[in-house]
Amino acid sequence: MIPNLCNAVRPEAKSCWRHGLRPITTTIGLMLLFTVIVEFDGGTYISQFRGRSAQCAAANYAAHLVGIKGMSTLANRKRLASCLSRERPVAIQGVRNVWCCSASIGKKLALVNIVATV
């Protein structure tokens, strides 16, 4: 007999499935795939990260962006990383699984969109 695993699934995983997301459950918890889209200093940068929340994805991106050589100067990347690591993305009304946050470095604005990716 095959055991019924539906009741053994973590509650947050059930919630993700209801919203059309495919979580990965690990020993450290539920991990979703997020696509991070950043507009900054005349460029568009797209990356993907696994995390438990949009805020984790923003923090992961902050750590990652210092190494993006084509994005502005190293000093600007470090300042931007510092700002984004403290940001709390805001859910966009009218759409599901989409968040936004921003940071300002001098006269340059970074617009960050985070999408929970199916």
Q: Which helix (H) or strand (E) holds 91?
A: strand 90-91
pTM: 0.72
Cα gap 86→27, rounded to integer Å: 26
Mean pLDDT (the chain, rounded): 79
- Domain segments of the chain: what residues? 6-116
Q: Which residues contact 35 (CB under 8 A, 6 or more apart)?
A: 46, 47, 48, 114, 115, 117
Q: What is the pLDDT of residues 9-53, one digit of tens each?
A: 334 433 443 444 555 454 445 789 999 999 999 999 999 988 889
